[in-house]
Amino acid sequence: MSRSISYITGSQLLTLKRRPNIAIIDVRDDERSNDGHIAGSLHYASDTFSDRISDLIQQVKGKDTLVFHCALSQVRGPRCARRFANYLEEMKEDAGIKDIMVLERGFNGWEAAGRPVCRCTDNPCKAASDQ
| Catalytic residue from among 70, 80, 118, 125 | 70
CB-facing half-sphere around the CA of 97: CA atoms within 13 A: 29
- DSSP secondary structure string for all residues of 67-118: EEE-SSSSSHHHHHHHHHHHHHHHTT--TT--EEEEETTHHHHHHHTT---B
Cα distance from N-terminal residue to C-terminal residue, the chain: 37
Beta-carbon contacts of 87 under 8 Å, excluding residues fewer than 6 positions away, are: 53, 93
Tell me the sheet residues that pair with 26.
43, 69
**Cα–Cα distance, 46 to 96 (Å, whole number):** 23
> Any catalytic annotation for residue 80?
no
Catalytic residues: 70
